[in-house]
Every structure is written in structure tokens, then in C-alpha cells.
Amino acid sequence: MREVIDLQTPRVWEVDAALRDLVDRGLLHRDRETGRYDLHPIVRRYAYDRLGGEARADAHGRLRDYFAAVPPPERVTTLGDLAPVIELYHHTVRAGQYDEACDLFYDRINKPTYYQFGAYQLRIELLRALFPDGEDKPPRLKDESAQAWTLNELANSYSLSGQPRRAVPLFEQQIAIREKQGVERSVAVGLGNLACMAQIHIGALRAAEANLRRQIALGREIEDERLEAVGHRELGRLLACRGAWAEAEEELATALALFEEHGATQSQGVTWAYCAQRVLLLARWSALSGDPESEIANRRSATDAARRALGLADETARIRYPHERDYVRAHWLLGAAHRANDDRDAAERHLSQALTRCRGINMVDHEADILLDLARLRHAQGHREEALRLAEEARLIAERSGYAFQGADVHLFLAELALGAGDTGAALGHAETARELATCDGPPDHTYRVAYEEARALLGRLGADQSVGPSVRPSAGERAGR
């Protein structure tokens, strides 16, 4: 034993000295808290590229076996808890074992990254590795059902990270596979996802509505009431954006009744959030016709509905685990309702909470909405420059992501700011852009109706050409949401 130690000790010193030298040169990084070393990315790439095909596969196979032996945590509470399984996933993919990697993602990575942490960009990076032939081809998996599932998950992640246009062809591939298989439930799920996670965001309202109505019909046909309820809920949100107030209310009420019957607490919370969104839009619609009583009533209703959504998010966290997206949505809408009711302190609390949580999970699809309501709040507080900065930040997000509704709302606010500063030319440009974005598939039935009419009213005030057709003046029944 002594002889072995004497022989090995100099080598230990040599290795230690070599490690220190590499660290000093910046070629190797050391995490002192964990005691781990990591190669500089350029060095890692050089070393990796020097490995031949067989040596590379062998290295990944040995690393896969190492990480496979790491026991999973009893409870995943942070994204860091997933580090060993993510390493295992990477090496499984690079060893060419795509089917095993897909199973690993499904079993141990999917739910926490989606529901708990909203790690959408991480999901994209991991899932794209299953598409070595490109995203216009199916993932390299043997089973068609696994291909369809992977397409759907990658599409969802693109949509939630602010890339809805990239999601559309992936959803369509998934639906095509499921239709060929004759799996009606999965076809319905895909149609709903395509509509509510991609098409509605980019203003493709006709296609979105057709897909949601087909989802509802398929849900009824296969007697899946929860699936049908999701279709009613998403259709209710779309109809509210279209200004079909009574039908939207009916769809949301139907969804709520079905979710309550099935004890679906989390889904009830999302539906109440959509109810809040509907009455906030309805308050703006009432303001167009100068009906202050309806406007005030709708603003108060929005506060009540958003509170219900937040309470149900808390209940979901108690009985299952927190859904961070639901908290972001509820705090945003509650903050927006308080701002509309001129309760500025409460608005500040909830909108700040929404923005912090939103950025914590990179929830791009709601960030511009939150920033815009914060901008409206700052403007009401007399901080015009801060309001302008926040609105411009929201505009960039909406423009980059291709969000039609958010873009229209932001440009309307920027137009009002420009008008207040006496810059009629800038106000006109923003109002025209808002009208263009809110047009979506076109009047009379497939516009983002509130923003479309607000833009037309503003253009009228500015004396601009209104040749796109007559404005739709709200009736008394419409102002009340009937």
C-alpha cells in the first residue's frame, strides 16, 4: 500500500498543478462552492471535435451511465434539482438514443419545466435535439405517437417564449399525424393548442375560431367533457377579443360549469382570469360610447373576477403545486383592474408582482401586457417619461413576437402620449399602426374589436381618412355586455 501511495503522490501533485495552471490561463473554470470544474466553451468544443465518431459515442455512453446512477430528488423544488437528469438527457441524445431521451424527458423533465418553472427556452433547447433532420421533418423517433407528442411540446414552448409563428407548422404536423392515426382526442388537443397558443396571438382569428369550434365538437363526440370545457374557455376568450360579448360570456360560463363539475381547480382559475379580461375589454367598449355607468360596473366586475382567479391559483398551489403562469396572469389582471378603478397602490403591488414573476420564468406572452398597464399607471401618476419607456419596451416585445392584440394596444397608448405632447404626426402614425394590427382577419366580425374601434375613433379625431368602412357604434345592449 505504501509503495502505491509513494508512486501515485507525485502524480496527484502533477494533476493538481496542471489544474491550477489551466485555471490561471482561463481554460478551466472552477466552482468553489460545489468543487466542480468546467472547461472553457472553446476548449470543450475543440476537445469534442477531436473525438472520433466511436470515441465520442463511447464518451457519451459512459457519461450517460454515470448520470443515470445519480438518484432523483424526492421532490423537485428548484431548476437546479433537475441538473443531473438534464445532463443524462444530453448524453443520451448524443449517444444517438433518441427514443430513450424522449422517454426521459417525458418522465422526469416535462412537468417541472413546463408547469413549475416555466423554463420554456430550456425546453426548446432540449426538444430541438430530437430533430437532427430539422424542424420541418418529424423528430427522429420510431413511434409516431412519440413524434406527435414531441411536436406538440416544442410548439407549446415556442409559443410561450414569444415565438407563436414558429409554433404553427409544428402544431400542424402534430395534428396531421394524429388524424392519420385516427386519435380524435389528440386531434382535438392539437386544434385547441394551435388556436389558443399561436393563431390568436398573431391575429388569425377565423382559423382560430374554426379550430376551437371543431375541438368542442370532437370533445362532445368522444364524450370528453374536460376537453370540451377547454374549447369553450378558449373560444370565450377569443369571442371577447372579437367583441361578441354575450356569446363570450356564455362560452366562459359553460366552461366554468364543466370545470366545477369535474373539480378542475386550476382550470377554473384560468377561466375566471378570462372572465376578468372580458369585462376589462367591455369597460373600454362602454367608454367608446360615453356610458360611464356601464364602464364603472365592468371595471368592478373585473376586480372581482381577477380576485377569484388569484384565489384559485393559491388553492391549486395547496392541493398540487404552484402554476406560476396562473399567478402571473391573475396578478396582471388584478393590477389592471385596480388601475382602471384608480386604486393606484393596489395596482402598483399587483402589476409589480406580475412583472417580477413573469420575468422569473421568461413568460414573454404576457410581458408586454403587464408593461403596458404599468405604463398606463405611470402616466396616471404624472411620470410621462417612465410611461413612454415602459410602453416602448412593450412595443418591442409585441413587434418581435408578432403579437397583434398587444401591438395594437401599445400603439394606441403611444398615440395618446404623442397627442398629449402635441406631436400630431407621431400620434397619426401610431393610430394607423394600431388600426392595421387590430384589423386581424377584417371587419365586421374578425377584428380585435375594441382596439379597432378605438383606433378608428382616434383617427377621426385626427382628421385622418376613414375609408376602411363605417365604424361600428356600440348599442346599449352591447355596452352592457348583452
Which residue, among 124, 482, 26, has the nearest Cα to 297 in the 3D structure? 482
All cell numbers assigned to 385 = 417619461
Give the span between the Cα atoms of 139 and 135, in whole angstroms: 7
Give the span between the Cα atoms of 475 and 482, in whole angstroms: 10
How high is the pLDDT of residue 47? Answer: 56
pTM here is 0.82
- Tracing cell 443524462 back to the chain, one arrives at 88
In sequence order, the 6+-apart residues with CB closer than 8 A to the CB of 448 are 203, 241, 242, 404, 405, 408, 437, 438, 440
DSSP state of 195: I
158-187 CB burial, b ≥16 within 10 A, e <16: bbbbbbbebbbebbebbbebbeeeebbebb
387-426 CB burial, b ≥16 within 10 A, e <16: bbebbebbbebbbebbbbbbbbbbbbbbbbbbbeeeeeee
Average pLDDT across each block of 10 residues of the chain; the chain has 482 residues. List them in order.
Answer: 40 64 68 56 56 52 48 74 89 92 94 87 95 95 97 96 96 97 96 97 98 98 97 98 98 98 97 98 93 91 98 96 93 98 97 96 93 98 98 98 98 97 97 98 96 96 64 48 49
Give the span between the Cα atoms of 241 and 234, in whole angstroms: 11
Give the span between the Cα atoms of 201 and 121, in whole angstroms: 19
Give the span between the Cα atoms of 256 and 272, in whole angstroms: 8
Give how many domains the chain has, as a whole number: 1
Coil, strand or helix at 189: helix
**In terms of residue numbers, what domain contains 7?**
1-50
Please check whether residue 45 lies inside any domain of the structure.
yes
Please check whether residue 22 lies inside any domain of the structure.
yes
Which residue, among 215, 222, 200, has the nearest Cα to 255 in the 3D structure? 215
User: 101 vs 68, 98, 141, 142, CA distance in Å?
Assistant: 12, 5, 10, 12
Please check whether residue 266 lies inside any domain of the structure.
no
Q: Is the peptide bond prior to 444 cis by the omega test (within 30 degrees of 0)?
A: yes
Which residue, among 199, 116, 114, has the nearest Cα to 149 in the 3D structure? 114
Helices (H), 341-423: 344-360, 364-380, 384-401, 404-420
All cell numbers assigned to 382 = 404624472
Coil, strand or helix at 398: helix
Give the span between the Cα atoms of 446 and 425, in whole angstroms: 28
How high is the pLDDT of residue 117? Answer: 84
Residue 294: count other Cβ atoms within 10 Å of its Cβ.
20
How high is the pLDDT of residue 480? Answer: 47
Give the span between the Cα atoms of 193 and 333, in whole angstroms: 22
How high is the pLDDT of residue 361? Answer: 84
All cell numbers assigned to 396 = 418591442
User: 443 vs 265, 278, 404, 438, 439, CA distance in Å?
Assistant: 37, 20, 15, 10, 7
Sign (positive/negative) of CA torsion 348, 350, 351, 357?
Answer: positive
Are the CB atoms for 405 and 420 separated by under 8 Å? no
Please check whether residue 119 lies inside any domain of the structure.
no
Which residue, among 201, 204, 242, has the nearest Cα to 445 in the 3D structure? 242
